[in-house]
Structure 1
């Protein structure tokens, strides 16, 4: 019984059902009954008399908003119009008080222009991007609080908004463009942003291209990309490269072929063979010995190819042979680079150049090696990028959510010469990224610009990853600088005596 009584007692005193009494304070009833706090009624609630408080309770009823009424009545129906705007063969019955929100019309009506007192205005439209549908949206925006802008129509609306000097609508167009950058829109958006001065949109488009031009190559996009935009991409150290610098050269070869043969149609995998056959046919049929970029047809593309970092192509024998075979680049470009790399190799061997030891971001941005790798799914990976890097054999490992660098000297086999210097230095930046189907960044990580010293066979954890932030496929992009920047290099020539002693 004691336990049963305890259970009843605990049940009656549960906190969620705590009971206390208070005097009902309803005015006008003179009620002195007591009610429970947990309820919202007392005994007076059972009285049939209507509660005065209900008379003061508002009832919700959805009414037509003022904005919608104005838009329908004044703009669409044109009621009480005091001015008619004619443009592109269409007429709009509008109102000066609303048109004055536009800087264009405000200046027109407030100045000494002849149109300030006219009832009908013929509007000249000098911009071919503006059409009647865009004008309908822009004029209508003056009569409503919000405007829905289709991404496919945003350039025309932006053009009209800029002409009529509607800053708020211009900003909204810019936001719409930035949210909808893709392979289909990026070139058009970039061109429009350049015309109408939307720097933030241009920056967003360039970022998208830097991330996607190499990682997700697209034939239609290559056809659209002009020389000016391509030059900006190729010169940037932020270009997301898959594999090595040679792949940039190969991509440019395909791009140039499409620029000169825009009617080409076919799958992406057929593009490179057709581009190479076209170049070969020119060399054989026309008997051209002159490099293609030196010809009249090829010269417009020389500024773009000029930004290829040839030092990271000629460090691989098979790649160097392809350059010679293609005969696209002028010989003096290559000979100058061969000379530079030869002296760099001699310096690392005989002048104790152990790599960059002081921060020099400018040199890094201009001359760092660009390379990358795609990890299709989670797992364990270990790789190196091809090419001779002055005896610095760098292995990259992805395992257990860690990315590590290892300077290999003796622990792993290597096909080329390996430096046995006690310490080597390098500058690097490693970036990770995942993209959705439209090429928009889903996640990204970066180490930023870093300096690193590695001893023989030493490993270094570059990045520790949070599994919750990883999405596959995962793209890894690296920049490396293995030799000292020019400002750090020792330029003095060796003394003849020491050379003689070495020879003996």
Structure 2
């Protein structure tokens, strides 16, 4: 009995069964070394090895203890003192573990009738919660780590929020932020709003601003709500490829898929199908109203209102498509034609040399949004098409530099060119690289700046560190070519003309 008792005590103390023997051998070696019959270096190495083995043994034992608790207490339900029933399933659990949940801690510590009950029926009002999510959530109370499957994270988050499991909620949020893709972003955004994960919601919005124009798909466009699309289209941070007309085209495809959600062709076919569908609606209306003024289209008015139409009608081909489509109210187009005509007159006759100071509000709301994808390293030179009030701006990427040039003499251009000695533009340049799922790898920005250029002058606007560059490289620019109109002056002029 004494021998058996000593073994039990030794195990309870956390000591391996061979520890005493190892200590005895160590003692013998020490004595041997003192007597000159052993090698002290090898003895020390042997002791270190034995200590490492001892530590590994303890770690292994702790790990096996965690598994034992999960298997015996949770999965097998041994020594259970409470039964939880929900969604047609039962769990034999333990109050001491359930009290880690804020939901059950309040239930058991207060004057609720459930505090003295051994069987509790849970009502599950949230349709996102299923039996599998509850199984993982309850199981998390009996183990240190939970492996979260991204395809199950929304259901698990719902269960964790109901049970008030703060650690599991945080882990769900981190999993969501790491697994945002075109397939998950809308579900994550909506769930983050429902369950109060603001950091996840912000991350999803950033992903959409960066990838809306490059990761378009039938599934994504069907999932994007009107309110979410309005946020994206109104933002100056939207990564636009190539020009604002491409934003209009994307909205046309999106609106068609919202209205005809049963359509399941390939994304390459969407534009053709959308044009045919809207043409049929035009024939029905007989040209009396635009589509957005109809009963079907009115819900989409707030989204299309955030298009920057002044940069669409500045290109003849784009203006003709917009007029043909008849999606937009005619008053919108009349207003923007008038606005651009006055801006042109100011540039030509009032010698408007462009913005002279940073007006962030004006830049955020009215700047031209455009972008380009550089598939691989090399030399590139391009201009974004459209009438830009006499400023033909060439953009060059070469030798890891990005250069702006005001072209007046050397290269042919499609629009008229101002010969004013100096012209200014307000701009912000952003560069970014993304992995295959749309996650940003690296980014650079100039911030908002004013650049003044003389005739044919060029200016380096960004010097890139080659170590930070990954291709394909996306370049996005915001431009403001004319200074904001002085409302008070224009109104005074109108009053003078009327008098």
Distance (Å, rounded) in 2 between the aligned partners of 1:57 and 1:352: 81
Paired residue for 2:248?
249
Q: Which moves more between the two structures, 439-448 or 475-484? A: 439-448
Paired residue for 1:16?
none
**Is the CA contact 1:353–1:489 (under 8 Å) kept in the aligned structure 2?**
no
1:75-114 mapped onto 2 (5 Å cutoff): 75-114=74-113
* Residue-by-residue CA offset, 1:53-106 (whole Å, 9 max, x unaligned): 999886343325332221111111111111100000000011111111111111
**Is the CA contact 2:282–2:291 (under 8 Å) kept in the aligned structure 1?**
no
* Residue-by-residue CA offset, 1:126-151 (whole Å, 9 max, x unaligned): 00000000000000111111111100
* Residue-by-residue CA offset, 1:223-273 (whole Å, 9 max, x unaligned): 111101100000001111101101100110011011111121222222111
* Residue-by-residue CA offset, 1:257-302 (whole Å, 9 max, x unaligned): 1111112122222211111111112212453421000000000111
Shift in alpha-carbon separation, 1:386–1:103, aligned structure 2, 3 A: same
Distance (Å, rounded) in 2 between the aligned partners of 1:35 and 1:29: 5
Paired residue for 1:368?
367
Paired residue for 1:500?
none
Consecutive unaligned residues of structure 2, counting only runs of 5 or more, are 1-28
Shift in alpha-carbon separation, 1:117–1:71, aligned structure 2, 3 A: same
1:165 is displaced (CA, Å) by: 0.8
Distance (Å, rounded) in 1 between the aligned partners of 2:246 and 2:451: 27
1:359 is displaced (CA, Å) by: 1.5
TM-score (norm 2): 0.88
The number of aligned residues is 463
- More helix, by proportion: 2
Distance (Å, rounded) in 2 between the aligned partners of 1:412 and 1:41: 81
Paired residue for 2:356?
357
Shift in alpha-carbon separation, 1:346–1:77, aligned structure 2, 3 A: same
TM-score (norm 1): 0.87
Paired residue for 1:346?
345
Distance (Å, rounded) in 2 between the aligned partners of 1:53 and 1:237: 62
Counterpart secondary structure, 1:40:
helix
Consecutive unaligned residues of structure 1, counting only runs of 5 or more, are 1-25, 46-50, 498-504
1:426-437 mapped onto 2 (5 Å cutoff): 426-437=425-436
**Is the CA contact 2:433–2:441 (under 8 Å) kept in the aligned structure 1?**
yes
Distance (Å, rounded) in 2 between the aligned partners of 1:288 and 1:495: 37
Distance (Å, rounded) in 1 between the aligned partners of 2:393 and 2:488: 22
1:469 is displaced (CA, Å) by: 1.9
* Residue-by-residue CA offset, 1:371-403 (whole Å, 9 max, x unaligned): 011111211111001111110110000111111
Paired residue for 1:12?
none
Say which one has the larger Rg: 1
1:52 is displaced (CA, Å) by: 9.3
**Is the CA contact 1:282–1:288 (under 8 Å) kept in the aligned structure 2?**
no
- Structure 1 residue 40 and structure 2 residue 41: aligned? yes
Distance (Å, rounded) in 2 between the aligned partners of 1:379 and 1:203: 35
Distance (Å, rounded) in 1 between the aligned partners of 2:405 and 2:338: 30
Paired residue for 2:4?
none
- Structure 1 residue 153 and structure 2 residue 155: aligned? no
1:447 is displaced (CA, Å) by: 1.2
Shift in alpha-carbon separation, 1:56–1:484, aligned structure 2, 3 A: closer
Distance (Å, rounded) in 1 between the aligned partners of 2:304 and 2:430: 25
1:303-382 mapped onto 2 (5 Å cutoff): 303-382=302-381
Paired residue for 1:20?
none
Distance (Å, rounded) in 2 between the aligned partners of 1:53 and 1:230: 63
RMSD of the alignment, in Å? Answer: 2.5
- Structure 1 residue 482 and structure 2 residue 481: aligned? yes
1:93-172 mapped onto 2 (5 Å cutoff): 93-172=92-171
1:487 is displaced (CA, Å) by: 5.5
Distance (Å, rounded) in 2 between the aligned partners of 1:175 and 1:302: 36
